[in-house]
Structure formats: structure tokens, C-alpha cells
Amino acid sequence: MRFEPSLLDQIRARLPISQVVGRRVTFDKRKSQPARGDFWACCPFHKEKTSSFHCDDRRGIYHCFGCGATGDHFKFLTETEGLTFPEAVERLAEEAGVSLPKADPREREREAVRVDLYGASEIAAKFFEAQLRLPVGKGARDYMVRRGIAERTSIEFRFGFAPDERDALKRHLIQNGVGEETAVAAGLLIKPEDGNRASYDRFRGRLMIPIHDERGKVVAFGGRIITAEGEPKYLNSPETPIFHKGLMLFNVHRAREAAHKSGTMIVTEGYMDAISVYQAGIRNVTAALGTAFTEDHIARLWRFAAEPVICFDGDRPGIAAAHRAIDRILPVLKSGYSFNFCFLPDGKDPDDIVRGGGADAFLGEVAKARPLSEVLWEREVATARVDTPERRAALEARIEDLVRSIKDERVARRYRLALRVNMSELFWSHDRKTRGGGERSGGAAPQAGALAPVPKPPNEPDLATIERVLLGLSVEYPDLYEANMDRLARLDFHMPSFEAFKQALYRIAVDLDAAAVSDFYAGLEGHFYSVLDDVHGDEVRRSDGVTVGRGHRLRERLPILRFHPPETFVETCFELLVERLSLRALADDIERDMRAVTADTDDNTASYLFELSRDLNRRREELLRREQELAEEAKAIRMATTGAVTSQSAIWSA
């Protein structure tokens, strides 16, 4: 229904906004001035200790000077209680005593039908509740005990029982003035298609759980068998003018306020799981109603939380349900809105978790929820083979098709970049494995929600070790340092003392002529000798005649030096160390730039980063190949010197 601005103004004029807001906040008496319609409170939209939330009766608006939240009467209700705008108008109009406009005749007829259906559903709900308390409901009560459903929960959710009779409800409805045609339209009775037989109760011999709309009105029922046998286990009401499975969510009228306060909504697979979680004290929980996840479900959930958590069983059907949900969600993804997925362990459902460990155990599992992008990536690569160019192209095409289904161009661009980087890592890891390098350290697939970090090579020595060995070789082989000092000068050493030491070496190497290079460290000043002591392998005599260094640290870190390798070997080792640091610096730069990528980043920049990361992986592969060759050469040197045959995987232990 469309509301005229004059009607909304009339509601605002009759109802001070402080009266609407005051039900949710406590006004600061010292700061507020009620006589002037000026009120202050702590903001209900973000946590704070000082009163920065201003409510102005004269203008009929609120504004938080902390988080920027601003709005009027109607927006406050939609933001704090999850009401739709028409629902907010209806509630405030009733409170203000303002009559809403009458609908057109056809709408009045439809509304009359809906009123009759609501009335019939409410009468049925009260009938089922009464039957549960009678002797005929003992089997249903025993079932609730077995399921751990507390009495207070059964009362709050209005549990009931449908007697195992053909027309027990039908007789009760007729006695209360509900016609057969209305009862059939409400889904309470079934009318045989042949028309010759009488209508009969849809629900018989079942535990009954009413299904409410967002206003808390009973619109349908779910019936659960209470015996070990029987099909179907769950029976829901059919589609009716007041009940649409693809639109409604179970328990949403209770959960929406808690969802707004907590900032998230938990979605379970079934309503019995939702009831168990709610009973454990977790109020922001809802459930779909036995149908596939729909776009309307998604839109409604986003009204309550930007990133709801869908909680599925961790078994194969649960994972399959999650994958189906992803296909529904992708086309409607939008900036700032997504879903997270929680897969419960060992095939357990939420009821198992809360009954075994309580609310904390369940919330602990929810905290492990993974973003949609990560679950999507794992789904696509779970059965993918990337051992040929054609199969890699097929994966790329499948990913591109999924990205194209995202209608929000900004989100699509972000996914395209993230999944490209993930594919680059997947291909790189596969190639490493097939070449004998083993699995990538860490093993886990990167998350695609943000641009994935550039994968780091396995078995890489720690940064300090690389820097110590490299500077130790610079002191031990000054000619080698001089030949590479331009490359070294461009590197940033992470340990401050080593960076200062490198700068001193660079200045001395530049200042001295070639004849004096072999003794260039003689000019080092005192505070560099502690570093020299750490990195140098032999004793060093300072210019004042004092001997420093304790002898063998370089050879401890690079044992192959004990076997006096040829200068060409040391030169190659030096080059590979420099390359390692260069690649480390490049990877850091790429990761920094990737973190800066936003939805507004142009495609050329994003493509450049993607290609740069691929080039980095290619250089790492080449470095790994050369290090393996150097390790083989190191083994040969050792064997030639000692006759020992050892298996070494890297030059660091050779």
C-alpha cells in the first residue's frame, strides 16, 4: 500500500519521536531537556559509553553523532525491529490514532478472505494446544520429553497435538463458525478431488508446531510424527493466500529483534533445530520451511543482518544443500551483503550440539563459519583436475560463468580477481607437486572473499637466517659482494642492525679502490662489530688491533663451506640468496597492493597485480629448481671430500 506524505506527517505530528525511541533507550536526564523536546541517550545502533544519540521532538528525527545513524519514526522501527515500512506505518498509525486509507473493493475482498484464514488458523492453533494437554496428547508429550523440549518452550512456541482422527479438527472448526471452504483454503482440511467424499483433517496423530508470519500471526502448521515409523516425518501446510513457503521464515517474528542487536541471524535447516537453539538461549535463529532457499528468503534475511550464518549438517546432504544455496545467492549478491556457512562436525545437527554442550558449544561452531566465497571455491576445485591445459581452461570457464551470474558489477569484479589469484595458486601448487616438491606448506585453500595472499614457497629458511648468511658471505667474499652490491643496495633488510651493516659495507665498497676491497671491513666502526660477530665465520682483526668474532657461525648456518666448495658454487649460492630476498620483497609489495584493491579499482590495475603474482610464482619455481640443482652439487662436494653419502634436500643442511 502506498501512503500519502500528508498521512505520514499526521502520524509524526501526533506521536513524539521521543515516545517511539524511548522504548529502546534510556534518556540521559542530565543532558536532556524534555520541555524543549530535546533528548540525549547512548546510541542503540553501536556500543558507546557517552550520550551521543540525539532525539529531537520538534523536527521529528534522531541522529547519532558517533555512528551517523539518522532517521524518523518509521525508520527507527524498521532498523531496530526489522519491520517492513508498511508494518511500521500500521503500528504507529494505530498508536497515534490515525486511520489508514481504505483499500479498493477488490483489495477489501482479498483482505476479508485473509482475515477469515487468519481466524481459522488461530482457532486451529488453540484446538491443537488444548489437545496436547488432554490424555490423548500423552504420546506427543512423551515425544517432547525425549527431544528435550522444555514446557516453557512448548508454551512459547504454542506446541499442540492433532488427534489421530479423520475429522476431529473439522468438527471443532464448524462448531466455531469456520466454514468448510475456508478451512480447506487455510490448508487445515483436505477436499478429495473426486468431490464425492467428505473433506477430512490434513494433520492427524502429529505434534503440531504453529508457523507465524512476521507480525506473529499463525498462518500455517508443521506436523511431526511422534512414532518411530510413518511418512512423511514432517508435514507442512500447503501454500495458501496467507502462507508462502518461499517467502516465510520460521520464528522470524521472535528472532528479528535479537538479530538486530547481535548483528547476525542464524539459519538452520529445520524448525525443530531452530527451536532447540532458541531454547538454549540463542534468540537470533530462524529456519527455512522445507523448500529450497529462495531469493525472497535471502532478501528477508538481509533485512535483519548483512551476513547471516547458514548452519548446515556437515554430512553430504548438508553440504549439497549449501551448494544449492550458493547458486541462489550469487545472482543477488550486493556490496556489503553476503552469507557465511557453518558446517557442523561428525554429521551432527544443531539439536545434537546444544543438547551435548549447550549454547557455548553451538556458538563455538558458528564462530567457525566460513564465507560464501571460500565455500564456493572449495566446491569448484573439489573434483577439478588441472593436469592439462584443457582442464585448466575448463575450470577457468566454469569460474567465469559463476562470476558472470553476479549482477552487482562491483562484487563480480572482486570475485573475479580473488578467484583468479586462487586459480594461480592452485596451478602453481599442482606443478610443484608433480615436479617432486611436495605439497605447499599450510595446505589450506586461500579465502576468496578478499584477494588471496601470494603463496609462499615451502621449507623457506627464516628471514633472519637468510640475512645473516648473505651478509656473512659478503664479509667472507668481498669480491662477490662488490659484484652484487647494487642489487643488495635495493633490498631492505628487516633486522635494523643488519640494514645499518649493509649500508656501511656499501659505503666502504664504493669508497675504496679495487686494490683495497679485500680488506674493506677494516674501516667498520665499533657498533657494527656485534653484527659482524654474529654473521662472520672467522676471526676478524679491527683496525685498532682488537680481535672480534668467535669463529664458526657462518659455517654453522651454511655447513657446505666446511668442505671448501669452489668459488662458482659460492657465487651461485649468493645469487640464490639475493633472489630469495628479492622475491620476498616482491611478494610483500603484491600483498600490500592486493589489500588496497577495492571495488572501484580499475580492471587494468587488478589485471596487472594478477599477472605480477603469476610472474612471482614462475620465478619461485625457477628458484626452487636451481636450489635443488645446487643441493645435488653440494652432496657431490661432500662425497668427494669425505666419501660420505647423505641425502640432503637443501643447501641449508648440506
Q: What whole-number percentage of the chain has pLDDT above 70? A: 78
pTM (2 d.p.): 0.59
How are strands ordered across the β-sheet holding 218-225? 160-162, 206-212, 218-225, 234-236
Give 556-559 contacts, CB < 8 A, sequence gap 24+.
Answer: 557/465, 557/468, 557/469, 557/472, 557/652, 558/469, 558/472, 558/473, 558/651, 558/652, 559/653, 559/654
pLDDT digits (tens, 9 = 90+) for 382-393: 888 888 888 988
DSSP class of residue 494 equals S
Residues in CB range of 131: below 8 A, 6 or more apart: 137, 160, 161, 162, 163, 168
| Average model confidence (pLDDT) across the chain | 80
pLDDT digits (tens, 9 = 90+) for 52-91: 999 988 788 999 998 888 999 999 998 888 788 888 999 9
Which range scores top for mean pLDDT: 247-251, 493-497, 593-597? Answer: 247-251
- Does residue 611 surpass a pLDDT of 50? yes
Which range scores top for mean pLDDT: 49-58, 123-132, 174-183? Answer: 123-132
pLDDT digits (tens, 9 = 90+) for 468-497: 787 778 777 777 777 776 677 667 776 665
pLDDT digits (tens, 9 = 90+) for 185-199: 999 999 998 777 899
Q: Which residue is listed with cell 496428547?
A: 137
* Residue 557 grid coordinates: 648456518
Which position has the higher pLDDT, 14 or 122? 122
Confirm if 486 and 575 have CB atoms less than 8 A apart.
no
